[in-house]
Amino acid sequence: MVAAAAPATAPPRRARAAWLRTWWRVVGGAGQRAAAPAWLGVGLFAAIAMGGNGLTATAATALMLQAPVVGAFVLGLWTLLIAPAGWALRRAPGRSYLRALPAPALAEPVGLVLLVVAMQAPWLLLWWLGAGPAWAAAATAPPALVTGLAAAWPDGRRQPGPPRWRGEAAALAGVARRSLTRLRAASVVRAPALAALGGLGVGALVGKNALTGPDAAIVAAVGLSPALVAAWVGPGTALAEGERRLEPWARALGLTPGPRLRALAGAAGLVALVLSAAAGLGLALGIGATPPTLPTAALAPAALAGVARAGIVALWGVAAAGRLGR
């Protein structure tokens, strides 16, 4: 009786090299695809603003250092652009499987650090050429830290079993909350940050031109509109997707549109308040307002958010009426 030959195994060194190549291809490829839009956008802007006799790296970094509000705005904008790439590293297909295999010690943490730093290349290069290595390291640390946290943040553990909601209103509110935190979890952080960043930029524009009264209100309203609309995309999509998934269950349970409409309006109103507060705070800081004037600076974004909330509720009401008429 001939014993079966043992399966051939790769030498440890070759196995480690194969694991590293596979990890870099899988995780690095996911990060590269996620960072490509940010790199492309920055490259197009640099070609327009810095081409020929345009703005130089030295002038750009000097402006950001001399005007802290401008520097904070550009830093926040780059962080918002590149942070989703860290989320892509965390969600890379096959990463969890590779982590279950024998791997070289510290290979994944070191690889993540290298990838996160490599993703900051345009921002790092701008500061390196414009202000030197020290400022490049200092300016790159915040966005790299945010991107690294997004890449290394552990998945939350969900409690097993059905949810325990008391009453119809609590159940519908819980569905809306889970739609935000599970379908578009990143938007919970990104949307207020985008609103605050928009307010900071508009506030800097108002403060730089010393606008007051109606002129300041008009500029703030017009300037904050695109920021609030962009900030609404993530939460609004999550609420709409949650409502779409709830539709067949609501029909099966005989839920009327009224409670669902109120729950959606409440969720939209809560998001509106959060975005309004973030935009108002950014606006006041950009203008250079003192703490007592912060509520006044928040009036314009609050009004815009109220209009957005009314529009969302009206659109959902029309859609609900159309479904009832079928």
Residues 265 and 320 sit within 8 Å (Cβ to Cβ)? no
Residues 281 and 298 sit within 8 Å (Cβ to Cβ)? yes
pLDDT tens for each residue of 284-302: 777 775 544 544 555 555 5
pLDDT at 326: 45
Residues 283 and 297 sit within 8 Å (Cβ to Cβ)? yes
Residues 55 and 49 sit within 8 Å (Cβ to Cβ)? yes
pLDDT tens for each residue of 209-241: 777 777 777 777 777 777 777 777 778 777 777
Q: Which amino acid is at 42?
A: V
* Alpha-carbon gap, residue 302 to 291, rounded angstroms: 17
Q: Where are the alpha helices (DSSP H) in 165-298?
A: 168-178, 187-208, 213-253, 257-287, 294-297
Residues 92 and 26 sit within 8 Å (Cβ to Cβ)? yes
pTM of structure: 0.66
Residues in the chain: 326
pLDDT at 324: 42
Residues 257 and 320 sit within 8 Å (Cβ to Cβ)? yes
Residue 150 to residues 206, 245, 322, Cα–Cα distance (Å): 33, 27, 41
pLDDT confidence band for 138 (50 / 70 / 90): very high
pLDDT tens for each residue of 22-77: 888 888 888 888 888 888 888 888 887 777 667 888 888 888 888 888 888 888 88
Residues 113 and 148 sit within 8 Å (Cβ to Cβ)? yes
Q: Which long-range contacts (C-beta less than 8 Å, at least 24 apart) are formed by 62-69?
A: 62/130, 62/131, 65/131, 65/135, 67/204, 69/200, 69/203, 69/204, 69/207, 69/285, 69/286, 69/288
* Alpha-carbon gap, residue 162 to 171, rounded angstroms: 12
